[in-house]
Amino acid sequence: MVDRIRQQVLDKGEAQLAERKTHRPTPIDNSALPAGSPMTFYCVACGAVADIKPEEYLFPVRKLCSECEGLANLKLLRHVDEAQR
């Protein structure tokens, strides 16, 4: 039962991951923005927006978007080095 649900999540998660990779947003060049602009960071796994921070952020930038984070937490995200998180 759990294996079947896990497989369904894996199948759907992989399909959605492929979709996100195909439709990556055009990255914003943070260095080209006016001073004080919020900074946008992109998911290392799929390229979607992972985090938006104020220019002088204090806490670490999220490396994964929430969807990839969920897959990683379920050990379903392959090819992402744990050290990048």
At position 51, the amino acid (one-letter code) is D
Is residue 41 within 8 Å of residue 52, measured between CB atoms?
Answer: yes
17 closest CA partner among 52, 65, 51: 65
Q: Cβ of residue 47: shortest distance to Zn ion, in angstroms?
A: 7
For Zn ion, the binding residues (CB under 5 A) are: 43, 45-46, 48, 65, 68
Q: Cβ of residue 50: shortest distance to Zn ion, in angstroms?
A: 6
Choose between 41 and 68: whose C-beta lies nearer to Zn ion: 68
Choose between 43 and 51: whose C-beta lies nearer to Zn ion: 43
